[in-house]
C-alpha cells in the first residue's frame, strides 16, 4: 500500500511494474485532479539521473517538448556585489546542467505512465483515518471505512506526513517563518539558459530560465511581506519583481501566478519502521534553494523499488527488517549531507549580521578560486 499520489508515490508505484505484486495507491484527491493537475507554479530542476529514471518509468515520453527548458548554467549572487559564483558543464561532456519542467506536467506524465498498470489499484477521493503495522503486516483504515491489509505500507504523503506520525516516527521540523512566492514572468532581456540564485540583503530571489524568454521568478521573504506582495495586481507585481531583481533582465510582467508556499523543512529520524517505509517529502522535505527535493524523492523511490523487486524475484519477504534497514542506510547516505549542507548555506546567506556578510563574500570568492569545487558542485547538480 502506498499512501500519497504525488510524484514520489506515483514514481514508486510505476517502478514496481513487473514485480508481480498487487499494489494499492491511496490518494485523497479525486482521480480527475491526478489526471490533470492544476498549475502550481513550481518548476522542477531535474538532474540527468532523474531524467534517466523518468525515462525508464515511461513518464519522460509523456512530456511535451515545450514543457522542457534547458538549464545550461547556474550562478549565485550575494548582496549588492556583481561578483557571481558560477557552475557550468565544463569538463563534463554535457551541454546542460539539467532540465526545467513544470511540476504539474511531471505529475501528469507519471499518472499517465501508471495508467493500465497490471496489479495496480488506484483508490482516490478518500483519505487515511488510521494505520497500524506489526510483524505480520500493515493495515490501513480509510476515511470511508474500508480496511486494507498488505505486507508493506509506504508513506508518500507530504513533509507533514500523517502516516509518519501514526507510525511513531519523529521528524526534525523547521518552520522557517518565511514564504516563497512563484510567478512566471516574460522579460525583455535574454537569460541565456542561466539560473540565478541571488541572496540579496533582506530577500532571496531566484530566476529559473524557461523557454520563449520567460523565467520562473521565486521570491523568498518573511511570510507577511509575501502575502502583501501576492495581493498586488499583475502589473504592480511585475514592476515590483523587476525592481527587486534590479532590472537585470529588463522589464518583467506576470503572466501566471502568484503562488505562495510557506517554507518548512523536515527530516525523519527514521525512514523505515516495522512493515513500513517513508519516501519523498515524508522522508526528507528539502529547502527549495538547492532544487534537489524532487530529485532526492525520486531517487529514494527508485532505491526502495529496486530492493523490493529484487526480493520479489527471489521469493523473499518484500518488507523484511533487513531490506528496510538497507533502504534507510542508502537513502540517509544520499540525503543527509545535502540536507545538512543546505541548512548551512541558507543559514549563512540569510544572516544579515556584519560578520555573516563578510563570511558570505569570502565563501563565494574562495569557492570561485578553486576549480575542483566548482566542478564537484556542477557534477552534483547534474547527477545527484
CA distance 223 to 227: 6
**pLDDT at residue 231 is higher than 80:** yes
**pLDDT at residue 115 is higher than 80:** yes
Sheet holding 84-87, edge to edge: 84-87, 73-78, 194-200, 203-210, 214-222, 171-186, 256-268, 284-285
**pLDDT at residue 382 is higher than 80:** no
Q: How many domains does the chain have?
A: 1
Residue 133: inside a domain, yes or no?
yes
* Domain that includes residue 324, residue range: 2-69+99-174+264-351
The per-residue pLDDT for 365 is: 60
List, for residues 41-61, the tens digit of each pLDDT value: 999 999 999 999 999 999 999
**pLDDT at residue 257 is higher than 90:** yes
> What residues contact residue 343 under an 8 Å CB cut-off, 6+ apart?
174, 265, 287
The per-residue pLDDT for 367 is: 54
**pLDDT at residue 308 is higher than 60:** yes
**pLDDT at residue 306 is higher than 60:** yes
> What residues contact residue 21 under an 8 Å CB cut-off, 6+ apart?
119, 308, 312, 318
CA distance 9 to 110: 10
List, for residues 150-168, the tens digit of each pLDDT value: 999 999 999 999 999 999 9
293: domain CATH number is: 3.50.50.60
Residue 220: inside a domain, yes or no?
no
CA distance 161 to 281: 8
Residue 87: inside a domain, yes or no?
no
pLDDT band for 372, please (50, 70, 90 cuts).
Answer: very low
Average pLDDT over every residue of 246-254: 96
CA distance 320 to 141: 23
pLDDT band for 96, please (50, 70, 90 cuts).
Answer: confident
Residue 255: inside a domain, yes or no?
no
The per-residue pLDDT for 95 is: 82
Average pLDDT over every residue of 172-176: 91
Residue 129: inside a domain, yes or no?
yes
The per-residue pLDDT for 259 is: 97
Residue 200: inside a domain, yes or no?
no
Residue 57: inside a domain, yes or no?
yes
The per-residue pLDDT for 201 is: 83
The three cell numbers of residue 17 are 511494474
Residue 216: inside a domain, yes or no?
no
The per-residue pLDDT for 377 is: 46
What is the value of pTM for the model shown? 0.91
Amino acid at each position: 500500500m502506498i499512501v500519497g499520489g504525488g510524484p514520489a508515490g506515483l514514481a514508486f508505484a510505476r517502478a514496481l511494474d513487473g514485480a508481480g505484486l498487487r499494489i494499492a495507491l491511496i490518494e485523497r484527491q479525486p482521480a480527475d485532479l491526478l489526471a490533470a493537475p492544476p498549475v502550481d507554479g513550481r518548476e522542477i530542476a531535474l538532474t540527468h539521473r532523474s531524467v534517466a529514471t523518468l525515462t525508464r518509468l515511461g513518464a519522460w515520453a509523456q512530456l511535451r517538448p515545450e514543457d522542457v527548458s534547458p538549464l545550461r548554467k547556474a550562478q549565485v549572487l550575494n548582496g549588492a556585489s556583481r561578483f557571481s559564483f558560477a557552475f557550468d558543464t565544463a569538463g563534463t561532456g554535457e551541454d546542460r546542467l539539467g532540465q526545467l519542467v513544470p511540476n504539474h506536467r511531471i505529475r501528469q506524465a507519471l499518472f499517465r505512465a501508471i495508467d493500465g498498470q497490471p496489479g495496480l489499484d488506484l483508490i482516490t477521493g478518500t483519505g487515511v483515518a488510521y494505520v497500524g503495522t506489526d510483524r505480520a503486516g500493515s493495515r490501513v483504515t480509510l476515511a470511508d471505512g474500508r480496511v486494507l491489509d498488505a505486507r508493506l505500507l509506504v508513506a508518500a504523503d507530504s513533509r507533514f506526513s500523517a502516516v509518519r506520525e501514526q507510525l511513531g516516527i519523529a521528524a526534525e521540523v523547521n518552520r522557517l517563518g518565511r514564504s516563497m512566492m512563484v510567478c512566471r514572468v516574460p522579460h525583455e532581456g535574454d537569460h541565456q539558459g542561466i539560473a540565478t540564485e541571488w541572496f540579496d540583503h533582506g530577500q532571496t530571489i531566484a530566476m529559473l530560465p524557461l523557454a520563449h524568454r520567460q523565467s520562473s521568478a521565486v521570491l523568498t521573504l518573511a511570510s507577511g511581506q509575501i502575502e502583501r506582495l501576492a495581493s498586488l495586481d499583475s502589473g504592480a507585481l511585475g514592476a515590483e519583481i523587476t525592481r527587486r531583481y534590479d532590472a537585470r533582465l529588463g522589464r518583467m510582467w506576470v503572466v501566471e501566478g502568484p503562488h505562495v508556499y510557506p517554507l518548512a523543512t523536515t527530516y525523519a529520524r527514521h525512514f523505515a519502521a516495522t512493515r513500513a517505509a517513508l519516501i519523498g517529502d515524508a522522508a526528507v522535505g528539502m529547502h527549495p534553494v538547492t532544487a534537489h527535493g524532487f530529485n532526492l524523492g525520486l531517487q529514494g523511490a527508485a532505491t526502495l523499488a529496486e530492493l523490493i523487486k529484487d526480493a520479489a524475484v527471489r521469493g523473499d519477504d518484500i518488507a523484511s527488517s533487513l531490506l528496510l534497514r538497507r533502504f534507510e542506510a542508502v537513502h540517509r547516505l544520499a540525503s543527509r549531507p545535502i540536507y545538512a549542507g543546505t541548512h548551512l548555506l541558507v543559514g549563512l546567506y540569510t544572516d544579515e549580521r556584519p560578520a555573516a556578510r563578510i563570511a558570505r563574500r569570502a565563501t563565494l570568492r574562495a569557492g570561485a578560486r578553486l576549480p575542483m569545487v566548482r566542478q564537484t558542485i556542477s557534477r552534483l547538480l547534474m547527477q545527484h
